[in-house]
Structures are given as structure tokens and as C-alpha cells.
Structure 1
Amino acid sequence: MAYESLREWLKVLDKAGELKRVTAEVSPILEMAEIADRASKSGKGTAKAGGPALLFENVAGYPGARVLMNQFGSTKRMQMALEVDSLDEIAGRIETLIHPVAPSGMLDKLKMLPMLAEVGGYFPKTISAKNAPCKEVVLRGEDVDVLKFPVLKTWPEDGGRFITLPCVITQNPSTGKRNVGMYRMQVYDGKTAGMHWQRQKVAAEHARDRMRAVAEDAAGQVEMMAVTAGGTAAAGQHTMPQHVVTKIRGERMEVAVVIGTDPATTFSAIVPAPPEVEEYLIAGFLRQKAVELVKCETVDLEVPAHAEIVLEGYVELGELRTEGPFGDHTGFYTMQDEYPVLHLTCITHRKDPIYAATVVGKPPMEDTWMIKAVERIFLPLMKLTIPEIVDINLPAEGVAHNLMLVSIRKSYAGQARKVMHAIWGLGQAMFTKCIVVVDEDCDVQDVGEVMLRAGNNIDPERDIQFTMGPVDTLDHASRLPNYGSKMGIDATRKWAAEGFTRQWPTMMTMPKDVKAKADAIWKKLGIE
């Protein structure tokens, strides 16, 4: 049964022994992050890797407040969050949806009806505000102050306090489709915060769409082109001409931010879904139950009704403010840059709300397990576009966008390079800095095995591919912001058709009967 709210999820964690309550007084300024960082790195290399979820119950300066951290921080908890015994179960459900068995007769068609009805039940539904727990307290006007909540500062050189686990809701101005994304938010004061939606993110595109519409109405194509070049651009990119800024200023895009939802809804905010697919629907699919939504008080958006905290407001188009630095999941600080500003118009929350947060930094951390879940769940969709892929691995040290290990079923010369370029053309995978491609008999989840193949199977000049293109905003080594080089390594066996005319050696393996006999003896030896 789907978790209705963060509180239900918390009870399950507690009952399963996956939650540690921290009763000592801890400050949200650095101290919580340090404890959560230690927890996330505990048990490394063991079945208990990732440490427990943490509920801070004695928050310095915030009497009665509670802060939840590391809720997704292990394989076991990611499985619990999505209510499966293995993340591959969800991949299997996706496989069934994208590759359904064609019905051969009326009976087979009738058998498909329950599945179709089930999918129809995943679409979000809107409920009355009187039944929405997130409306228990409604704050307007001078009562609006996000600093009433224990917003964290996670690293010493951070530019301030940051909301680190927000579900940011925006809407496409043309189609009306909603997007739920996770973008950190630097809190400037009680009523304003930075919106770190990077240029390639859906929310940034929503803002640019709104700007284009305003500029086009005001003066036509020239201004629209200027907006396309500038938009929500970060430093190092084109900025909008002043006359365009003047025309756009005063126009607003509504935004809602939710903190503390059921785990599937929070997780759905980080999945690299196509813009056409709403995250609320993805959450419904993961929960196998529709997400209940409720209308906001001051903006025309819907938010999860069982959320802990809802921030309502708007971004004034064309307004940018310095955001950062921020200690990021790369293990380095992201430097200051210019980003839009959220102005709060209303806050609603549950009585005694639980503030959900995370800390990012040198892996492994909580986001390591979230990324691994994305990897397993969306592998079938990747195979849909690139069918020769057998498996992928996003190692923790690759921080999602620096390294991808890929095994393929090779059937023609140059196929590894084809796969590299296909990945670079696939949604958020375009940011992957390094791709290593191996043959299907290599287990890409065994990083040591991949390194052995890569070290032995390549002639560097022949097998390394360089290309230019968009890179992640967090890539501090790229020659320009958001633009730089990428590398692909073809570590597959080389064919004559690829210019390798000598015999390729076989890898060493023992015969099965020898291994079986050794297995029987080994058990009696008692050697671990």
C-alpha cells in the first residue's frame, strides 16, 4: 500500500529499525550536515552501507522542530521507499508497459483490461482544500517567513542557508503540463530565495517560454531571439539587452515549492523523465496509487495534499541575483552565479511540520542511492532507444554525470562509438563526461572488472573518442560554463573490420566441473 505522506513513511522506517532519533541539541548550521555526512558514509563496503535515516528532535533555535535526513540513504531504504524487494521489479513493470504482449484474441484483450485500469489509476487527482493536511496552517502577508523553519547551512563556505530537498513545481505556459523538479534554493531572507534551475532544466525552459511570449507580444522576433540567448542564463553566457529586460520586468511566473512529501513523490522530482511526462504521474506509477493534489492559495498550481510544507510565490522574469557558493555532490563548491529569485506570497504547512533535508558532498552520500535507483529503474527506457545495451552502471565516484559504464551486445564494427553518441543524445545523459563501453560478458556493476577490460582492451589512440557538447553546470573543469569536451572509451574486443587483424586472446576461466568440485571442498575449509 502506498505511503500517503512523509509521516507514514517515517513510521515504517522507525518500525523497521532504519531510523535513529537524535535527541541531543544540534544546530542546522553545519552540525546536522556533519552528522548526516558521517551517517551516510558509515558501513561502507558492507550490507549496511549508507547508515540510518536521522530524525533530529532537538533543533537549536527551533523549539519543537524536527528535521529528517538520509531517508533514502541505503539500498534497503530505497527499496522500502518504492515498496519493492528489488529496484529491478520496477524496471520489470516498465518493460511490461513498453513491450506489452499483443493480444491474439478476445480473451487476451479482456486479460489486459485490469492492467489498463491500473495504469489509469496512476493519474493525479485533486481533492478539496478542507481535506488537505498541508493546509492546516496558512500564512500570508507579514507572517510569511521561510526562516521559521530550520533551513540548513551544510558546508562552511556556502553562500548561506539552502533548502536542499525541495520539489519545485512549475507549469508550461503553452501546454499547461506541470513539472516537478529538484533545484536547490538559497534563502536570502524570510520572503526570497534563489532558484537554481540550471539552463538545461525543464523549469528554466518554462521561464524562457514565458519570456519569449512576453517579448514576442511586446516587440517581435528580435526580442524573442535575445530572450532565447539570455533567458535564465548563468554567468559566462549571453545576457539580455536592457530594453528586453525592461519589457519583461514585472511579468511573473508562478512557482510552488513543496518540502516533505511521501518518498515516491520526492524521488520522482529527480528522475530524468521526458518533459511530456508529468512527475505526478511517475510518482503515481511508482506508488501504484494516484497522488492527491490540492490547489494552492495564491498561485494557480496544484501541490501534494499530504505535504509537510508548501511555499507559494513567483519568479519575476528577467530578475537575477547572485547565488552560491554551494558545497555540491561533486565534492567541490559550485561557485557564485546568477539565478532567478522566488518571491514568497504564502506558506501553508501541517501542524508541527517535519522539515526534510539532505546534504551533498563527497560520495558516497544519500544521493548515491537515489542515483542508483534512477539507473536501475530507467534502464528499460534507455534500452528502448539503444537496444544493444545490456546494462549500465553509474559509480558513486562518478557523481551521476562524470562516468557511465556500459555493456553492449556487439554485432558490428564501430558499435561502441554509436552507443556513446546515442547516450550523449539522450536527455540528461547528454552531460555524461566519460563513457566506458565493454562487451556483454563483462559485469559493469563490478568496477574492478571494467577497469581490467579497459586497461587491457584499448589502444588509446584508436579507441578513445573525444567530442564537444553541453556539459553539466556543476562541471568546474570545462573550458566554458555548460560547454566542454567528453570522452568515450571503446573497451570491447576489436574486430578485423575495425582494423585489428591479429588474434584476440581469450580470458582465463576454469571449467565448470573443476569449479563445482572446488566449491564442495571450499565449504569444508571454512575460509571466508
Structure 2
Amino acid sequence: MPIEDTTEFVQKLEAAGELKRVKVQVDSDLEIAEILRRTMYENGPAILFENVKGHTMPVLGNAFGSMKRLQIGLEMDDFTEIGQRIVDMTKMEVPSGFLNKIKKLPELSKMGEIFPKLEKSGPVTEVIEDNPSFGKIPILKTWHKDAGKFITLGLVATKHPETGVRNLGVYRIQIIDDTHALMHWQKHKRGAHHGELSKEKGEKIPAAIIIGGEPATVFSAIAPVPEGLDKYLFAGITRKSGIKTVKCKTQDLEVPANAEIVLEGFVDPSDIRDEGPFGDHTGYYTPVEPYPTFTLTGVMRRQKPIYLTTIVGKPILEDAYIGKVIERSFLPLIRMFHPEVVDFAMPAAGWFQGMAIISIKKRYPGQAKKVMMGLWGTGQLALTKMFIVVDDDINVHDINDVIWAITTRADAARDCTIINNTPTDTLDPASPLVNFGSKLGIDATQKTKEEGFTREIQEKVTVDDATKSLVDSKWSSYGL
């Protein structure tokens, strides 16, 4: 059975030796963040802080900070399963004829099991706060020059004002006072688009900040799913079982019933204030920029909730592992649109939007550039700054192999493509303007005569079979 909530996730992590409890009193102002950073950089366990100064609510951090913990949380070893399920759904044929429809019923019923289910109540409705306040929650300040306390792993629920398609996104949220915060949803994100549509109508947009819940729902909020796909449905696809939802008490929104806390409110696109600075996952402080205000109107929570959080900074931290799962899970979708793609990697040190490496089965001249252009036109990959394309004999997950390909198969003048005046990640500290800069593509595939390579292709150095067999047969005798 899929993991249903944060408490069950904690129990499974602890049983697997992947969680430690800290019982000594700690401060949510800087101290917890520094403990988590040191633990993350040393590949340490998830931590449950049980004694937080000024609060009765425990804090859970680094819960997704290893591939093993993500395998436990999502209950799978091969994360490409997630994307493959979507691909399989798109290929499902509509049966014709009564007998064929009967034969398809088991397959069709399985699809129905992944849809979200609206309930009258759930664990998150156990307590309805009379006086909602951010001050009752142990929200962290993570870096000493941060503008204040930030919610860093809040799943922000909105729905498209016209289509009603629901979205979950993870955007940092700066606390201003007990009932106001700043919503850092970047221009290219779906939540910001919902906000802009509401602003055009002169309306405020209902929003809810969800803390904790099923690991699959947390992952789904972070994942850049295809446009138009309901995030609650994607959570069901991920866990092979539909999530339960409940209605908010003060806003017209559905939220996961198994969440720990739901902070209900609205974002006013016309109430813009300065947000930041904030020490972000690029390893730099994001400077002060204008963002809209979130007003808290209600709080639903469990009787004994756990505050789930994360820490970001210079890679490699917890978000690197979540990014790796996203990379693996979306490989089947990339292959669906670009069948020549063999593998795909987004190195954690490049904070994922900075660089991607793609291997292809090359069949014709210019194919590497064709793949680059296609991926730059695909969803959130439009924000990726650098693409490196290599042949299928290169391991995209071995940076040394990739560097070897670049230095032996790419010519700087011929194989580097620079595209000016393109969208960039808001957090990119190198772009000349916020959200606007350039792309770099490196074609590190072996060039052909059709591509102007007139030299004879040099033969790769490999061990001959006879020598390999000889050494294999005597290996144990060498004492090595």
C-alpha cells in the first residue's frame, strides 16, 4: 500500500535506519538550518527535531535527502516507472465492439483508481484554527542575511481561473506578519500564470499552502508535469492510487486530506511588496524583487502535525535527490517526443536548470541541434541554460566521460551554438537581465562527412579480445 502521510513516512524511514530524532531543544531561527546543512553535505539521515524552542510542533528535515529515502517514500526502485505510466496512458487504444470493451474493463478500471477522491473530512480537518496565524508554526530562518522566515517546502495549491485544472507548486514564501506573506512564484511557473489571469479579471486568486502529506503528493508538487495535467491526478499516477481531498473552509479549493497543515488564503496580484533576499539553491542570495502578497484566512491541521521543511544553498543538498528523481521519471516522456534520445542527466552541481546532458542514437547530420531545439521548446526545459549532446556510447551520468566526449568530438567554432535573447531561470545569477539571457548548446557527437568533417574518423582505443580473455582467466592469481 502507498504511504498515506508524513507520520507513516517517518516510521518507515526510522525502521530503515534513515532517520534520527533530536530531543535537545533547538531554535527555528538559523540553528535547525545549520544542523540540516551539515547533515546534508555529509550525506546524513533525515532528522526529526522534537523540541523546537517556542513551539510544540516537531520539525522534519532532509526527509528526501537520499535516493534510498525517495525509494521508500515513492515505493519504487526505478523512477522511470512514473513517466512510463503517462506514456502508456497516451497509447491506450479506445476499444470498439462490446467484447473488446469487456476485455479492456480491468485496464480501464485501473485508470479510474488513480483519480483524486473528494471526502467530507480527513486527518487535516481534525483542528480548525479560530485565529489563524503563521506564528504558531516553527517556520525556519535559514541564512543570516535572509529577509526573515521562509516556508521552503509548502505545496501551493491554485486552480486555473478558466479551466479549473488544479496545480501544486513549490515556491518559497516569506513571512511578513501573522497573517501576511510574500509568494515568490516566478514568472514562468504555473501558479504565477494563474495569478496573472486573475489579475486581468481584477480578482484575487484563492490559494492554499499545504505542509506535508503523502510523499507522492510532495514530489508531484515539485515535478514539472506536462501543461494541462492536474497535479492531483499526477500524484495518483505516481503512487498508483488516487489521493483523498477535502474542501478548504475559507476558500474554494480542494486540498490533500492527508496533509499535516493547510494554510488557506488568497494572493492579491495588485498588492506587490519587496521580497528577499534569500539564500537559494544556486548558492547565492537572490536579491530583493517585487512579488504579490498572500493573506492568511484560515488554518486546518492535524491534532499533532509535523512541520516538513527543506534547506537550500550551494549544491549538493536535499533538492538534488528530488531533482534526480524528476530527471529519471521524465525520461520516458522525453523519449516519446524525441525517440533518438537514449539517456538524459541534469547534474546536481548545475542546480538542474543550469545544465543538461543528452545522449542520442545519431542517424543524420544536425540531429544533435534538432534535439537541443526541441528540448528548449519543451515545458520547464525552456529555462535550461546549457545543453550538451553526446553519442550513445557516452555515459551521461559520468562527467569524466562527458568531458572526454566534449574535448575529442567537439570543435569550438563548429559545435557551439549560442542563442541570444531567450527566457532564463529567474534565479540564474549570471543572466544579464532577470528572466532574460542566452543559451549554450554543445554538440559533442562524432561528426560525419555530411556535417563537413572531411578527416578520417580515428579509431577508439579498445582492448583486444585475446588479451582481455587472458587477463580475465588469470585475474585472481595476480593478488590485486
Give the TM-score normalised by structure 1.
0.87
Could you tell me whether the CA contact under 8 Å between 1:55 and 1:68 is conserved in 2? yes
Q: Which amino acid aligns with 1:170?
A: T
Quick check: 1:84 aligned with 2:84? Answer: no
Tell me, in whole angstroms, the C-alpha distance in 2 between the residues paired with 1:478 and 1:385.
29
2:127 to 124, 137, 150: 137
Quick check: 1:127 aligned with 2:119? Answer: yes
State the partner residue of 2:154.
Answer: 166
Cα 1:509–1:6 shift into 2, 3 Å: same
Indicate the percent of aligned positions where both proteins have the same amino acid.
Answer: 46
SS in 2 for 1:368: helix
Tell me, in whole angstroms, the C-alpha distance in 2 between the residues paired with 1:354 and 1:77.
18
Q: How does 1:339-350 map to 2 (within 5 A)?
A: 339-350=291-302
Tell me, in whole angstroms, the C-alpha distance in 2 between the residues paired with 1:178 and 1:434.
31
Superposition deviation, residue 522 in structure 1: 3.1
State the partner residue of 1:313.
Answer: 265
1:53 to 17, 42, 46: 46
Quick check: 1:32 aligned with 2:25? Answer: no
2:345 to 383, 393, 406: 393
* Cα RMSD for the two superposed structures: 1.8
SS in 1 for 2:9: helix
2:354 to 386, 393, 402: 402
Tell me, in whole angstroms, the C-alpha distance in 1 between the residues paired with 2:477 and 2:246.
63
Tell me, in whole angstroms, the C-alpha distance in 2 between the residues paired with 1:523 and 1:201.
57
State the partner residue of 1:65.
Answer: 57
Cα 1:38–1:517 shift into 2, 3 Å: farther
Q: Which amino acid aligns with 2:11?
A: K
2:177 to 189, 192, 209: 189
Q: Deviations over 1:459-478 (max 9, x none)?
A: 10110000021000001211
Quick check: 1:207 aligned with 2:198? Answer: no
Deviates more, 1:105-114 or 1:450-459: 105-114
Superposition deviation, residue 96 in structure 1: 3.2
Superposition deviation, residue 523 in structure 1: 4.2
Q: How does 1:413-432 map to 2 (within 5 A)?
A: 413-432=365-384
Tell me, in whole angstroms, the C-alpha distance in 2 between the residues paired with 1:18 and 1:117.
36
Quick check: 1:299 aligned with 2:237? Answer: no
Tell me, in whole angstroms, the C-alpha distance in 1 between the residues paired with 2:91 and 2:477.
47
State the partner residue of 1:369.
Answer: 321
Deviates more, 1:91-100 or 1:27-36: 91-100
Tell me, in whole angstroms, the C-alpha distance in 1 between the residues paired with 2:250 and 2:96.
52
Q: How does 1:208-247 map to 2 (within 5 A)?
A: 208-214=196-202
State the partner residue of 1:113.
Answer: 105
Tell me, in whole angstroms, the C-alpha distance in 2 between the residues paired with 1:201 and 1:72.
23
Superposition deviation, residue 90 in structure 1: 3.2
State the partner residue of 1:219.
Answer: none
Superposition deviation, residue 104 in structure 1: 11
Q: Deviations over 1:71-124 (max 9, x none)?
A: 111111111111012223334434433445898999876554322211111110
Q: Which amino acid aligns with 1:493?
A: Q
Cα 1:205–1:104 shift into 2, 3 Å: closer
Superposition deviation, residue 519 in structure 1: 3.5
Superposition deviation, residue 287 in structure 1: 1.0
Q: Deviations over 1:41-80 (max 9, x none)?
A: 22xxxxxxx3211111111222x32100111111111111
Q: Deviations over 1:15-46 (max 9, x none)?
A: 1111111112221111111111122122xxxx
Quick check: 1:488 aligned with 2:476? Answer: no
State the partner residue of 2:237.
Answer: 285
Superposition deviation, residue 11 in structure 1: 1.0
Q: Which amino acid aligns with 1:78?
A: L
State the partner residue of 2:6.
Answer: 6
SS in 2 for 1:484: strand
Superposition deviation, residue 512 in structure 1: 4.4
Q: Deviations over 1:222-243 (max 9, x none)?
A: xxxxxxxxxxxxxxxxxxxxxx
State the partner residue of 2:143.
Answer: 155
Q: Deviations over 1:252-289 (max 9, x none)?
A: 21111100111000010011112310111111111111
Superposition deviation, residue 506 in structure 1: 2.2
The aligned length equals 479
SS in 2 for 1:189: coil
Deviates more, 1:316-325 or 1:104-113: 104-113
Q: Which amino acid aligns with 1:502?
A: R
SS in 2 for 1:269: helix
Tell me, in whole angstroms, the C-alpha distance in 1 between the residues paired with 2:228 and 2:381.
17
SS in 2 for 1:17: coil
Tell me, in whole angstroms, the C-alpha distance in 2 between the residues paired with 1:58 and 1:519.
57
* Structure 1 unaligned regions, length at least 5: 43-49, 215-250
Cα 1:513–1:95 shift into 2, 3 Å: farther
Tell me, in whole angstroms, the C-alpha distance in 2 between the residues paired with 1:101 and 1:525.
59
Q: Deviations over 1:429-487 (max 9, x none)?
A: 00111111001111111111001110111110110000021000001211111000110
SS in 1 for 2:369: helix
* Structure 2 unaligned regions, length at least 5: none
Tell me, in whole angstroms, the C-alpha distance in 2 between the residues paired with 1:505 and 1:343.
65
Cα 1:104–1:304 shift into 2, 3 Å: closer
State the partner residue of 1:41.
Answer: 41
Quick check: 1:477 aligned with 2:469? Answer: no
Could you tell me whether the CA contact under 8 Å between 1:199 and 1:205 is conserved in 2? yes
Cα 1:330–1:521 shift into 2, 3 Å: farther
Superposition deviation, residue 355 in structure 1: 0.2
Q: Which amino acid aligns with 1:145?
A: S
Could you tell me whether the CA contact under 8 Å between 2:125 and 2:301 is conserved in 1? yes
Cα 1:513–1:86 shift into 2, 3 Å: farther
Could you tell me whether the CA contact under 8 Å between 2:247 and 2:255 is conserved in 1? yes
Q: How does 1:423-462 map to 2 (within 5 A)?
A: 423-462=375-414
State the partner residue of 1:75.
Answer: 67
Q: Deviations over 1:122-177 (max 9, x none)?
A: 11011012xx111111113xx21112111001111111100000110011111111
Tell me, in whole angstroms, the C-alpha distance in 2 between the residues paired with 1:197 and 1:412.
41
Deviates more, 1:493-502 or 1:518-527: 518-527
Could you tell me whether the CA contact under 8 Å between 1:134 and 1:306 is conserved in 2? yes
Superposition deviation, residue 311 in structure 1: 0.3
Superposition deviation, residue 306 in structure 1: 1.2
Cα 1:172–1:101 shift into 2, 3 Å: closer
